[in-house]
Chain A
């Protein structure tokens, strides 16, 4: 019984053909992915082709006597040739004259990328054929290609890379899912490449495992949401796990499907009393604030009215800190006598339209501006353009993308700051307790001395004006202090004093505290507010404004009678850090459109995509029908052949009977799953079946004799052998098994 260990389906190196082809495909993909962001489309195609040719030749090269170390110099030479070709194609005057400069550039690109990919593919395939460990480099290259293609998608930039994301957005899909799928497929290919097991079943197990992991990833992302952007603006306490604290209100507006997040099945569930939220809204002094400079979008603000602030910045107030605790300002608590402070700071997200208490309201100095805020990241409290007067829920058109949406009506400054001069600070109706609360500062006399010094430069007619005093303080700070994200005050007993009477270098928290302490030393009611501050130019002409973690800010505010709490920010003239860059214009527009619930692309593009989809569907249907018909035709043909082979013994002339009769019985055996192994002789096959089908031995002998020159073949004996064999088969094989065999159109293909 000879066992065939050399399968003809395997290539020379012992690798199944399908694996070889898959590997070439992976090389093509890797080459294309790596070349795609660097070159023109022609270069991408050339790189894919070069990588395939290189990989194919690498297999051959690995079997030559070339030393493995020589592959390195070979690669260097190949890359040098690639660079030289490009130089030659682009720099040669005759070529660019013949083709035109653009075509010359394209040709040069394609040549360079094709040759480079060829050299790299050749080197890598040679090494990895000789040593399997190099497969790791193959995998790393492919992974790198996928990652760098999708890296632009990071940091909330859902519109990148454009070529992949745009059509999906146009079709109303979520590109994130496409990238997740892409990543999953990439992982699958990588796993396949790494394993490429000789054992089919082991490979099957591993693939099943990999598919399971990927499925876990995808379903996990569906049920628990995408990874959240990292905490921006450390120390300002703008963001945090707001879900727990707002659970009670949130469940209230779920039936409206409005501002609340969709139910996400967290373990604590609904109805249980919300646990105390982690208080992350304390204003900490930090020495290194630079980690806040990330561009991850945290919210989109839609402006329903145009508004150009007199302060030169949009201030979105989220929290206020007015209570002096001996070291710094913290969020105010209700006093022992029941007085409430900073009531204009909304503590919870609105479940219904609510007026913000203690807000300035419409006055001659303020007008109303309506905005809608769509949160991309969780926040502790709602924030709004200073100063919010009314909050209300808003419909969330895309609950998967926007965690929460709410409407804000703000009473914004309509008049210039100059008009504030002469107004009274504070509110005469405040009780003593409130006055004390808003004017309490460090006992350090240096604050008052410095403040008096600042005020002394004012012209005589403003010498007694509190508002002018406040202006003088922030102007002095803006002139003399240096803005830096890195400072060294956090360890001091009074970090603000360390900043103000020290090197005067710090960030917004220092500035705000210093201004407030100085103002309070002069008896001006003031506080530190936190939130986001954005330059109006960031809108870039649109009505949507993208807020990122880098926009987090703290600023001083003073209370002016008739104006309410008013932003009075320091504008430092010396700064060692660049201001946060303007948000990505396309992303800002895209997210704005999404927040409005509108199509994100112009109608004609949508129509194009839809018509393309329609034609794709049409073609898919046509191809599907064609495939169906082809399968049907093949099935019918197979059955025709099957039936012919079965009935042929009755109709063929006698001299063909030994072959045809044997073939018919061979078909019967194949139908019940008994086939000759590859490399097994007919006699051995018959001997293997002899115990169960003794008549088949004689049949085989007669057939082989007729084929190899026996002088005489006893046809009647053969017929009787065949009849006995069929009787045996009926007796030994159950009916259902034979019936399955009758239905099998491919059995005769396995009869060998």
Chain B
């Protein structure tokens, strides 16, 4: 990546790109500039997160991809592995000084069995002075929400939370209160300690773009974390520049409009999903929604890697994270990722052969 990304435009590609988009495309120069600035913003954000959380580059990338693709992530890992730090660093990195709402950049909700839906959405409170009910927003009204141990609360609360994730709004007493456009949820659950939990059913898992299984960080990264003592890492990260809400929303727009997605990827995705559905080991396959959500994720990854086109490696890297939690496999199949990789191989082969065709 020695060359500057998005340096110039191939005219033929630009024409093909324009035909693909639903709305009239912005001029090529403008789009290129938008992509370049989006890349710059996202790279800045990534560097800040990397400073805050050491040894988690892959997770940070996936979280950023989900943020750019307007999805949410489910982190599955052990306590103390840095997920709160990651979410807090992300929230703090988003500078929201321009908005009128003055929303909190970051909120953390610890899910417990006795939590009520109104505890997270907020509720109407009677204002004695004005004799009216006034809506007092709950912790969900924030840019980045950390839903900690989401499987510990009752299905009722889970449903309210997941509705908010899907609709980007909460409804209290027949009044809908829209959430911020940037609204981004990082949910966590502990993979081992599952006694007394309410595991999320498959349709609710479907609302998460990725499920990321975190593994313990490498020895060097762990040494680095200890080397920062006594300075908190978040303080170190705060010294780095952040991004504004508007810049992030612009980056989302630029990714969707500006990163070229070859039609062959549509075929590869659909055929992959069909192969997964017909695999004898899979009881329930992935939904069409999952495929729709995957498209911007592919584009977002391309942008993060400094490309203006989606490459087969994006599909190869993201497919396990997209499909891992959406498949229900029969007894005797332990590794879902293995199933996904097996079904993905023919599609990768097809994409690889496509590139050599004239």
Q: Which residues of A contact B (CB under 8 A)?
A: 2-6, 656, 659, 662-663, 676, 678-684, 701, 703-705, 707-714, 717, 752
- In the complex, the answer to whether A4 meets B345 with C-beta atoms within 8 Å is yes
Report if B10 contacts A (CB, 8 A): yes
B-side contacts of A678, CB under 8 Å: 345, 349
* Nearest B residue (CB) for A8: B346
Least CB distance, A498 to chain B, in whole angstroms:
79
> What's the interface size class on B, roughly?
35 or more
Least CB distance, B104 to chain A, in whole angstroms:
39
Interface stretch, picked from B12-20, B77-85, B94-102, is B12-20
Q: Would you mind naming 19 contact pairs between A and B with Cβ atoms under 8 Å apart?
A: A2-B345, A656-B358, A679-B345, A679-B346, A681-B316, A682-B312, A684-B313, A703-B355, A708-B260, A708-B264, A709-B309, A710-B10, A710-B260, A710-B308, A711-B8, A711-B10, A713-B10, A717-B2, A717-B3
CB within 8 Å of A: which of B309-358? 309-313, 316, 341-342, 344-346, 348-349, 351-356, 358
A-side contacts of B316, CB under 8 Å: 2, 681, 683-684
Least CB distance, B347 to chain A, in whole angstroms:
9
Question: Binding site of B, secondary structure by majority: helix, strand, loop or mixed?
Answer: helix
A710 to B355, CA, bound (A): 12
A490 to B199, CA, bound (A): 93
Report if B262 contacts A (CB, 8 A): yes
A712 to B342, CA, bound (A): 33
* Nearest B residue (CB) for A686: B313
B-side contacts of A679, CB under 8 Å: 344-346, 348-349
- In the complex, the answer to whether A705 meets B307 with C-beta atoms within 8 Å is yes
- In the complex, the answer to whether A663 meets B356 with C-beta atoms within 8 Å is yes
- In the complex, the answer to whether B341 meets A2 with C-beta atoms within 8 Å is yes
- In the complex, the answer to whether B309 meets A2 with C-beta atoms within 8 Å is no
Report if B32 contacts A (CB, 8 A): yes
B-side contacts of A717, CB under 8 Å: 2-3
A435 to B136, CA, bound (A): 147
A-side contacts of B135, CB under 8 Å: none
Most buried by A among B2, B9, B260, B311: B311
Given A681-B352, A684-B316, A713-B10, residue A708 in contact with residue B345 (CB < 8 A) = no
- In the complex, the answer to whether B311 meets A705 with C-beta atoms within 8 Å is yes
A662 to B356, CA, bound (A): 9
- In the complex, the answer to whether A2 meets B348 with C-beta atoms within 8 Å is yes
A594 to B240, CA, bound (A): 106
In the complex, per-residue mask of B159-203: 1 if CB is within 8 Å of any chain A CB, else 0: 000000000000000000000000000000000000000000000
* Nearest B residue (CB) for A687: B313
- In the complex, the answer to whether B13 meets A710 with C-beta atoms within 8 Å is yes
- In the complex, the answer to whether B9 meets A682 with C-beta atoms within 8 Å is no
Most buried by B among A3, A703, A709, A712: A709
B-side contacts of A682, CB under 8 Å: 312, 352, 355
- In the complex, the answer to whether B311 meets A708 with C-beta atoms within 8 Å is yes
Given A681-B312, A710-B308, A711-B308, residue A659 in contact with residue B355 (CB < 8 A) = yes
B-side contacts of A659, CB under 8 Å: 355-356, 358
- In the complex, the answer to whether A708 meets B309 with C-beta atoms within 8 Å is yes
Given A707-B356, A710-B307, A711-B9, 10 additional A-B pairs, CB 8 A: A683-B313, A708-B260, A709-B13, A709-B308, A711-B6, A711-B10, A711-B309, A712-B7, A714-B3, A717-B3
Question: Binding site of A, secondary structure by majority: helix, strand, loop or mixed?
Answer: loop
- In the complex, the answer to whether A708 meets B262 with C-beta atoms within 8 Å is yes
A-side contacts of B354, CB under 8 Å: 707
- In the complex, the answer to whether B10 meets A6 with C-beta atoms within 8 Å is no
* Nearest B residue (CB) for A5: B342
B-side contacts of A712, CB under 8 Å: 6-10
Contact among B32, B313, B356 with A711 in the assembled complex (CB-CB below 8 Å): B32
Contact among A6, A709, A713 with B262 in the assembled complex (CB-CB below 8 Å): A709
- In the complex, the answer to whether B10 meets A752 with C-beta atoms within 8 Å is no
Closest 6 CB pairs of A and B: A679-B345, A707-B355, A683-B313, A709-B260, A709-B309, A2-B341
Least CB distance, A654 to chain B, in whole angstroms:
11
A-side contacts of B311, CB under 8 Å: 683, 701, 704-705, 708
B-side contacts of A710, CB under 8 Å: 10, 13, 260, 307-309
A137 to B12, CA, bound (A): 66
A710 to B348, CA, bound (A): 19
Given A6-B342, A711-B8, A712-B9, residue A681 in contact with residue B313 (CB < 8 A) = yes
- In the complex, the answer to whether A680 meets B6 with C-beta atoms within 8 Å is no
Contact among B2, B16, B348 with A680 in the assembled complex (CB-CB below 8 Å): B348
A5 to B340, CA, bound (A): 12
B-side contacts of A713, CB under 8 Å: 10
* Nearest A residue (CB) for B340: A2
Most buried by B among A659, A678, A712, A717: A712
B-side contacts of A663, CB under 8 Å: 356
In the complex, per-residue mask of B229-253: 1 if CB is within 8 Å of any chain A CB, else 0: 0000000000000000000000000
A703 to B10, CA, bound (A): 15
B-side contacts of A707, CB under 8 Å: 354-356
Least CB distance, A720 to chain B, in whole angstroms:
11
- In the complex, the answer to whether A704 meets B348 with C-beta atoms within 8 Å is no
A-side contacts of B308, CB under 8 Å: 709-711
Least CB distance, A706 to chain B, in whole angstroms:
8
- In the complex, the answer to whether A708 meets B346 with C-beta atoms within 8 Å is no
* Nearest B residue (CB) for A703: B355
- In the complex, the answer to whether B342 meets A704 with C-beta atoms within 8 Å is no
In the complex, per-residue mask of B3-35: 1 if CB is within 8 Å of any chain A CB, else 0: 100111110011011000000000000001000
A-side contacts of B17, CB under 8 Å: 709
A5 to B342, CA, bound (A): 7
A-side contacts of B312, CB under 8 Å: 681-683, 704, 708
* Nearest B residue (CB) for A676: B352
A676 to B13, CA, bound (A): 28
A-side contacts of B356, CB under 8 Å: 659, 662-663, 707
A752 to B345, CA, bound (A): 14
A662 to B262, CA, bound (A): 20
A707 to B262, CA, bound (A): 9
- In the complex, the answer to whether B349 meets A704 with C-beta atoms within 8 Å is no
* Nearest B residue (CB) for A698: B2
A597 to B78, CA, bound (A): 94
* Nearest A residue (CB) for B28: A711
B-side contacts of A6, CB under 8 Å: 342, 345-346
Least CB distance, B6 to chain A, in whole angstroms:
7
Contact among B310, B341, B342 with A708 in the assembled complex (CB-CB below 8 Å): B310
A-side contacts of B355, CB under 8 Å: 659, 682, 703-704, 707-708
* Nearest A residue (CB) for B305: A701
A679 to B353, CA, bound (A): 10
- In the complex, the answer to whether A711 meets B352 with C-beta atoms within 8 Å is no
A-side contacts of B349, CB under 8 Å: 4, 678-679
A683 to B309, CA, bound (A): 14
A-side contacts of B348, CB under 8 Å: 2, 679-681
A596 to B226, CA, bound (A): 104
Least CB distance, B344 to chain A, in whole angstroms:
6
A679 to B7, CA, bound (A): 32
B-side contacts of A701, CB under 8 Å: 311
* Nearest A residue (CB) for B35: A711
B-side contacts of A683, CB under 8 Å: 311-313, 316
CB within 8 Å of A: which of B285-323? 307-313, 316
* Nearest B residue (CB) for A656: B358
A711 to B13, CA, bound (A): 6
A268 to B236, CA, bound (A): 98
In the complex, per-residue mask of B51-67: 1 if CB is within 8 Å of any chain A CB, else 0: 00000000000000000
A-side contacts of B6, CB under 8 Å: 711-712
B-side contacts of A714, CB under 8 Å: 3
A-side contacts of B8, CB under 8 Å: 711-712
Least CB distance, B58 to chain A, in whole angstroms:
15
A-side contacts of B261, CB under 8 Å: 709
A707 to B313, CA, bound (A): 13
* Nearest B residue (CB) for A4: B345
A-side contacts of B352, CB under 8 Å: 676, 680-682, 752
* Nearest B residue (CB) for A678: B349
